[in-house]
Amino acid sequence: MMLESHRRLYNLALRERRDVYEAQGRSVSYGEQSRWFKETRKVIPSFAATNFSSAQATLRRLDRAFRAFFRRVRASAGDAPGYPRYKPGDRFRTVEFPSYGDGCKLKETGRVYIQNVGHVKVKLHRPIEGTIKTVSVKRSCGKWYVIFSCEASPGDASKATEDGPAVGIDLGLKSFLVTSSGESVEPPRYYRESQRKLRVAQRSVSRKKKGSERQRKARKQVARLHEKTANQCRDFHHKRARKLVDQHGLIAHEALNVKGIARSRLAKSAHDAGWTSFLNILGQKAEEAAVRVVAVDPRNTTQACSSCGQTPEIKKTLSDRLHACPCGYTADRDENAARNILRLGLSLWDVTQRVTANVSRARL
Ligand SMILES: [Zn+2]
CA of 296 to the centre of ligand 1 (A): 21
- pLDDT category at 303 given cuts 50, 70, 90 is very high
pLDDT for position 186? 84
The yes-or-no verdict on residue 191 having pLDDT over 90 is no
Average pLDDT over residues 62-89: 83
pLDDT for position 175? 82
CA of 312 to the centre of ligand 1 (A): 7
Spatial distance between the Cα atoms of 340 and 331, rounded to a whole number of angstroms: 12
pLDDT for position 266? 47
Average pLDDT over residues 30-51: 92
CA of 320 to the centre of ligand 1 (A): 16
Spatial distance between the Cα atoms of 179 and 156, rounded to a whole number of angstroms: 16
Spatial distance between the Cα atoms of 148 and 357, rounded to a whole number of angstroms: 8
- Residue among 6, 339, 314, 18 at smallest CA distance from 169: 339
CA of 221 to the centre of ligand 1 (A): 51
- Percentage of residues in the chain with pLDDT exceeding 90? 37
CA of 332 to the centre of ligand 1 (A): 13
CA of 324 to the centre of ligand 1 (A): 8
pLDDT tens-place string over residues 217-239:
888 988 988 888 888 888 999 99
CA of 80 to the centre of ligand 1 (A): 59
Spatial distance between the Cα atoms of 128 and 155, rounded to a whole number of angstroms: 14
pLDDT tens-place string over residues 88-113:
988 899 999 999 999 999 998 888 99
* Residue scoring higher pLDDT (348 or 277): 277
Q: Which of 66-70, 147-151, 207-211, 358-362 has the weakest average pLDDT? A: 358-362
CA of 140 to the centre of ligand 1 (A): 48
- pLDDT category at 261 given cuts 50, 70, 90 is very low
CA of 306 to the centre of ligand 1 (A): 7
Task: State in Å, rounded, how far the first CA of the chain is from the last one.
Answer: 6
The yes-or-no verdict on residue 260 having pLDDT over 70 is no
- Residue among 320, 325, 177 at smallest CA distance from 243: 177
pLDDT tens-place string over residues 153-187:
554 554 455 567 889 999 876 788 999 999 998 87
The residues that bridge with 168 in the sheet, in sequence order, are 252
CA of 251 to the centre of ligand 1 (A): 23
The yes-or-no verdict on residue 250 having pLDDT over 60 is yes
CA of 310 to the centre of ligand 1 (A): 6
pLDDT for position 197? 86
pLDDT for position 263? 44
* Residue scoring higher pLDDT (317 or 129): 317
CA of 178 to the centre of ligand 1 (A): 19
Residues with Cβ < 8 Å from 41, sequence gap 6 or more?
47, 48, 50, 52, 55
- Percentage of residues in the chain with pLDDT exceeding 70? 88
CA of 304 to the centre of ligand 1 (A): 8
pLDDT tens-place string over residues 130-158:
788 899 999 888 888 899 988 765 545 54
The yes-or-no verdict on residue 49 having pLDDT over 50 is yes
CA of 295 to the centre of ligand 1 (A): 24
CA of 166 to the centre of ligand 1 (A): 22
- pLDDT category at 361 given cuts 50, 70, 90 is low
Average pLDDT over residues 25-29: 91
The yes-or-no verdict on residue 14 having pLDDT over 80 is yes
Average pLDDT over residues 271-287: 82
Average pLDDT value over all residues in the chain: 85
pLDDT for position 273? 57
Dihedral angle sign, alpha carbons of residues 24, 30, 35, 36: positive
Average pLDDT over residues 111-125: 88
The yes-or-no verdict on residue 272 having pLDDT over 60 is no
